[in-house]
């Protein structure tokens, strides 16, 4: 009997290698799904097919679909997720309690569950990693019955919807999969612009930490890493938020170098050194936004994704943290 182990997060690989038996296969899913355009339904098959899986050894595969490959380097091989799953008796998915992990789990399981034969083989494994020692891991197994199977597919359909209402509605039933699904869907909804100032939760945390003195790359990212309540955004998107706040027409941050936060900047020694040595501080505009005197949309171009929802200045869904409700662009009215 062989098992396909799907590691939703890269750090899960070390745990899985210890559990492998001869003939087993581990696939680590090396992409971030939060904040990026999702593949369309028509693209979903290609997303999980050959050309997207990179084999480093016969047993371990690192998977970074070109759509999400940060470096832009293409990966060429002949592996296919559905074929690999077909050739293993069991399919074990390992996930953690983070928004990105939950979204990728929904995406992957929804794809596999299109094949009814896979449901009986599928098990979710929740990794509870000690914050004090990352090598201390407890694994909680969650079987996928018919009800959970339906909910996981509904969750992915809600995530990819152009309207966030279906995802909001999943809050009431996501706990039936497991409590971490409800917890992390809430975090994703909190990353819609706030009714108070237009900031997402991630943006508000970044500005708050900078205001408290975590005003360099190293100190800010260390502070973000040490937070127990994981943010739904990854390294590259956090850097992009900082870059955009320092380069918009009415600056929110001072001291941010010009240009984009991307791989090209990291490969440019001078640009990277300038970024790493920079110290950022809030402008008066930034403070006014935090205090709710100015809405972010009034001074900053918004162009980002939350699941299948494309947020722009002309189409901003809002999250009301007090009532825990979503407001449509039509329903939200700016403060007078």
**Token pair for 198:** 């237009």
Q: Is 18 within a domain?
A: yes
Sheet order of strands, 122-129 included: 53-55, 60-63, 25-29, 3-7, 90-95, 122-129, 137-143
Residues 32 and 27: their CA atoms lie apart, in Å, by: 15
Q: Is 134 within a domain?
A: yes
Q: Is 257 within a domain?
A: yes
Q: Is 194 within a domain?
A: no
Residues 15 and 114 in one domain: yes
Q: Is 333 within a domain?
A: no
Residues 65 and 184 in one domain: yes
Pick the last residue of a domain from 189, 219, 253: 189
Domain hosting residue 78, numbered range:
3-189
Residues 74 and 48 in one domain: yes
Pick the last residue of a domain from 144, 167, 189: 189
CB 125, CB 92: distance < 8 Å? yes
Q: Is 152 within a domain?
A: yes
Q: Which residue(s) pair with 138 in the sheet?
A: 128
pLDDT in tens for each of the 336 residues of the chain?
Answer: 688 888 877 556 666 666 667 777 777 777 777 778 888 777 777 777 754 444 443 344 444 444 333 333 333 444 678 888 888 899 989 888 888 889 989 999 999 998 888 989 999 998 887 666 666 778 899 999 999 999 999 999 999 999 999 999 999 999 999 999 999 999 999 999 999 999 999 999 999 999 999 999 999 988 887 776 667 667 888 899 999 999 988 999 999 998 888 888 899 999 999 999 999 999 999 999 999 999 999 999 999 999 999 999 999 999 999 999 999 999 887 665
* Parallel, antiparallel or unpaired: strands 53-55 and 253-254: unpaired
Residues 56 and 184 in one domain: yes
How many domains does the chain divide into?
A: 2
Q: Is 114 within a domain?
A: yes
Residues 225 and 175 in one domain: no
Pick the last residue of a domain from 169, 189, 209: 189
Residue 31: per-residue pLDDT: 73
Q: Tell me phi and psi for residue 155, to 5 degrees.
A: -65, -45
Residue 59: per-residue pLDDT: 43
Residues 174 and 79 in one domain: yes
* Alpha-carbon Rg for the chain in angstroms: 21
Residues 250 and 102 in one domain: no
Residues 180 and 221 in one domain: no
CA-closest candidate to residue 10, choices 89, 98, 119, 82: 98
Residues 25 and 86 in one domain: yes
Residues 107 and 153 in one domain: yes
Residue 283: per-residue pLDDT: 96
Residue 158: per-residue pLDDT: 96
Residue 148: per-residue pLDDT: 94
Q: Is 195 within a domain?
A: no
Residue 137: per-residue pLDDT: 75
Residues 63 and 168 in one domain: yes
CB 207, CB 223: distance < 8 Å? no
């Amino acid at each position: 009997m062989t098992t396909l182990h799907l590691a939703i997060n890269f750090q899960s690989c070390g745990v899985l290698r210890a559990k492998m038996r001869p003939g087993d296969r581990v696939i680590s899913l090396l992409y971030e799904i939060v904040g990026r355009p999702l593949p369309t339904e028509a693209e979903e098959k290609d997303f999980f097919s050959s050309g997207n899986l990179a084999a480093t050894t016969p047993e371990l595969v690192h998977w970074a679909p070109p759509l999400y490959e940060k470096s832009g380097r293409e990966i060429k091989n002949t592996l296919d997720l559905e074929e690999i799953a077909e050739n293993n008796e069991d399919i074990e998915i390992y996930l953690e309690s983070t928004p990105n992990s939950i979204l990728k789990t929904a995406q992957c399981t929804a794809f596999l569950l299109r094949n009814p034969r896979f449901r009986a083989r599928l098990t979710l494994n929740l990794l509870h990693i000690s914050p004090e020692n990352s090598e201390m891991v407890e694994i909680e197994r969650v079987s996928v019955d018919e009800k959970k199977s339906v909910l996981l597919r509904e969750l992915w359909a809600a995530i990819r919807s152009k309207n966030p209402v279906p995802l909001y509605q999943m809050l009431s039933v996501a706990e039936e999969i497991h409590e971490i699904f409800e917890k992390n869907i809430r975090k994703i909804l909190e990353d819609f612009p706030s009714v108070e100032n237009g900031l997402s939760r991630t943006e508000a945390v970044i500005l708050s930490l900078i205001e408290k003195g975590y005003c360099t790359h190293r100190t800010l990212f260390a502070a973000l890493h040490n937070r127990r309540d994981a943010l739904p955004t990854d390294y590259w998107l956090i850097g992009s938020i900082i870059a955009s706040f320092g380069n918009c027409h009415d600056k929110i941050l001072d001291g941010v170098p010009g240009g984009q936060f991307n791989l090209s900047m990291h490969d440019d020694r001078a640009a990277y050194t300038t970024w790493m040595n920079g110290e950022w501080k809030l402008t008066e505009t930034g403070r006014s936004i935090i205090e709710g005197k100015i809405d972010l949309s009034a001074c900053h171009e918004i162009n980002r994704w939350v699941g299948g929802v494309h947020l722009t200045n002309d189409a901003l869904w809002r999250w009301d943290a007090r009532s825990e409700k979503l407001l449509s662009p039509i329903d939200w009215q700016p403060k007078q």
